[in-house]
Amino acid sequence: MKKLTGTTLAQILAAPDPEKFPRSRLLRAFAEVCLAIELAHTRGVVHRDLKPDNVMLGDFGEVYVLDWGVAKLLGDAAEGVGEEPPGLDSSDLVTAAGAAVGTPGYMAPEQVRGELTVDGRSDVYALGCLLFEILAGAALHPRGSAALTTTVHGIDTSPRTRARDREVPPELDALCVAALQLRVDQRLGSARELGDRVQRFLDGDRDLEQRRELARAALAAATTAFASGAVGDRVVAMREAGRALALDPMLAGAAELVTRLMLEPPRDTPPEVEEEVLADALATRVANARLARWSYLAYTILLPALAWTGAWVELALLAGAIAVAGTLSARVSPTRPPPPLILFTVVNASLIAMIAHFYTPVLLAPGLAAVTGLILALNPPDSRLVRPMVIVAIMACSCMLPWLVEAVGIIPRTLGIDGTGLRLFGAGVTGGRAVTTVVTAVTFFATISVAIGIGAGIRSGERAARLRLRLQAWQLRQLVAS
């Protein structure tokens, strides 16, 4: 006989080596065993003693089915009668007429019962036992004579339920159950069908392995690109990490890298982000310009008081300043570039300086300067000319400069200080007690309302931004959890 070298399936299953003999290789060998048995069946031969010891994997990929000593020709009613064939263990094989022939734990139920109508489906049962052992890592039946009882009366043939700690594909689990049916007429029809279905699974498994290889390559490319830190490489890292996650959602490190890419900002700001920041800045300018228009409307409350006192020059100057400021704010829209912010700052400072002179520097101007400065500070700066400290300086000058100019005698005094305290002489407060009281009260109310409106808008925007951040964080947590 030909001398064979290799490793039996029994040896492989007894000492698993996933590196040398992964499950995919064992399943390929099993599919070839099924074809070899199918070939024997087409020639009218039933093996009757298929077990791990009788399957050998050669050193160069070949697969052998051994020990055909108890094989039976289909249609031959004569069983092995007489003495046991040489080299067979009496504990495994019974050869008396009408007795069971085969190895307990791998014989089909009809073999255990000693039926004479054994055919190829008995080998299918034995192949099912081999497949069960490859998938579950343990034999289907107990060793020894106890296997005869479980073979005849039945046992749970699902490797998924018998070996819950192992990953058993549902397709192979169902195939195993179909091959191990107790009744011959309910069992899988042929060894070829069994082998073909295993091969179809392997074709899909090979596709899955290819996807995993592609996912690992994409993750490696993403990791390398992420390490460089450049904006262009950052785009590559995001694309490759997302591709790796799509190809293999369970790939270790892919979800973590995607999370880092989304949470850790790049060293340089991408041009697209710069454009979005500019768009957000314009939206903020538009919103603040709308708010400013309401504040300018509140300034018009001061005009009747000036008219009452007959200060027509002051009224014209103040009305003109309000008109200019309102026109500038009206020009701010999403469809055209807004005027420079420094222009808004200067115009508003001039307006407040007029009010400081007409209504004295200590009455209305400080509150109006504070509210106006707040609105200006909320606008994104379009140059280094408009910074928070610059706005503070300009707004402070709008209140203090008229006072200083009055102090040197360039314009009439509106504020006096003597032993009784401050004395106010502004044109806006010399029109009688009733008018001055009403105008002052209304101006205070308008100033407070505008300030509170600004605060409410800031709170609403901050809450919306915080909600977006929380939602993004929640989505990232779900991504990592999946």
| Residue 272 covered by a domain | no
Three-state secondary structure call for residue 259? helix
Decide if 64 contacts 50 (C-beta within 8 A). Answer: no
At residue 460's C-alpha, the angle toward residues 454 and 461, to 5°, is 90
Q: Which of residues 189, 216, 241 is at a domain's end?
A: 189
φ/ψ (deg, to 5) at 311? -85, 75
User: Are residues 290 and 236 both part of a single domain?
Assistant: no
| Residue 450 covered by a domain | yes
Report how far apart the first and last C-alpha atoms of the chain are (Å, whole number): 57
User: Are residues 360 and 453 both part of a single domain?
Assistant: yes
* Amino acid making up residue 44: G
User: Are residues 165 and 211 both part of a single domain?
Assistant: no
DSSP string, 295-314: HHHHHTTHHHHHHHHT-HHH
| Residue 415 covered by a domain | yes
User: Are residues 282 and 335 both part of a single domain?
Assistant: yes
User: 103: closest CA among 91, 113, 116?
Assistant: 91
User: Are residues 339 and 469 both part of a single domain?
Assistant: yes
User: Are residues 464 and 317 both part of a single domain?
Assistant: yes
User: Are residues 145 and 231 both part of a single domain?
Assistant: no
Decide if 359 contacts 429 (C-beta within 8 A). Answer: yes
Strand 63-65 to strand 6-8: parallel, antiparallel, or no bridges (unpaired)? unpaired
| Residue 322 covered by a domain | yes
pLDDT number for residue 476: 65
User: Are residues 286 and 239 both part of a single domain?
Assistant: no
CATH of the domain at 139: 1.10.510.10
Q: Which of residues 162, 189, 216 is at a domain's end?
A: 189
| Residue 342 covered by a domain | yes
Decide if 246 contacts 254 (C-beta within 8 A). Answer: no
User: 37: closest CA among 10, 9, 5, 63?
Assistant: 63
| Residue 391 covered by a domain | yes
User: Are residues 302 and 239 both part of a single domain?
Assistant: no
| Residue 202 covered by a domain | no
What is the CA 233 to chain-centroid distance, rounded?
Answer: 20
| Residue 381 covered by a domain | yes
What percent of the chain lies above the pLDDT cut of 90?
27
Supply 69's token pair: 């000593």
* Per-residue DSSP letter, 84: P
User: Are residues 339 and 247 both part of a single domain?
Assistant: no
Q: What is the pLDDT of residues 42-69, one digit of tens each?
A: 999 999 999 999 999 998 889 999 999 8
Q: What is the pLDDT of residues 270-327, one digit of tens each?
A: 778 788 887 887 787 787 777 777 777 777 877 776 777 677 887 888 888 888 888 8
pTM over 0.75: no
Domains of the chain: total: 3
Average pLDDT over residues 419-448: 73
User: Are residues 137 and 224 both part of a single domain?
Assistant: no
User: Are residues 101 and 164 both part of a single domain?
Assistant: yes
Average pLDDT over residues 339-350: 85
What is the CA 277 to chain-centroid distance, rounded?
Answer: 25
Instruction: Give the side-chain half-sphere CA count within 13 A for 366.
Output: 6
Return all residues near 112 (Cβ < 8 A) that are at least 6 apart.
100, 104, 148, 151, 152
Residue 239: give the domain boundaries: 207-263
